[in-house]
């Protein structure tokens, strides 16, 4: 059971599983013979990630989390199995990096008294300006 480092986090290598399948799309006869598409499965329960990162990952992936608590990355854009494997791993790295980010809570602020007064004065000024532009009413 070896541990690798991904995006600054120590991940149990047993939590990563690769499966190679035949890719769809162009490639001629070559595509029918070679398994170049990669399916990377990342098991959340088997990983040694901190609880806050795991919970953030669950929120980020949403319904892409399988019933067995795995996140699946499927890569088939390249003709090479190695490049598809790198792409799937890069997607995992990007997801782990975004899960690590600590969001600062927004502190709600209120407009100052002066700001409220200026806003109301400006509204009155604009309303007066529009009222002056109107043609006079005819009183017959």
Tell me the two tokens of residue 66. Answer: 């399988």
Q: pLDDT tens across 53-111, in order?
A: 888 988 888 888 888 989 999 988 888 889 998 999 889 889 888 888 888 898 989 99
Structure tokens at 10: 């120590």
Main-chain dihedrals φ then ψ at residue 9, nearest 5 degrees: -110, 145
Domain ranges in the chain are: 3-100
Whole-prediction pTM: 0.67
The band of 23, judged by pLDDT with boundaries at 50, 70 and 90, is confident
- Cα angle for residues 59, 16, 54 (degrees, 5° grid): 25
Per-residue pLDDT tens digits for 100-139? 888 889 898 999 999 999 999 999 999 999 999 988 887 7
Specify the fold of 3-100.
Answer: Double Stranded RNA Binding Domain (3.30.160)
């Amino acid at each position: 059971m070896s541990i690798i480092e991904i995006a600054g986090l120590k991940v149990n290598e047993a939590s990563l599983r690769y499966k190679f399948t035949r890719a769809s799309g162009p490639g001629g006869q070559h595509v029918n013979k070679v398994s170049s598409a990669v399916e990377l499965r990342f098991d959340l329960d088997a990983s040694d990630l901190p609880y806050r990162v795991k919970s953030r990952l669950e929120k980020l992936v949403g319904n892409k989390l399988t019933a067995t608590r795995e996140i699946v990355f499927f890569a088939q854009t390249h003709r090479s199995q190695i490049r598809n494997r790198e792409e799937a791993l890069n997607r995992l790295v990007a997801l782990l990096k975004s899960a690590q980010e600590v969001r600062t809570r927004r502190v709600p602020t209120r407009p100052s008294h002066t700001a409220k007064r200026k806003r109301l004065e400006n509204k009155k000024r604009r309303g007066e300006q529009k009222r002056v532009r109107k043609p006079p009413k005819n009183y017959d």
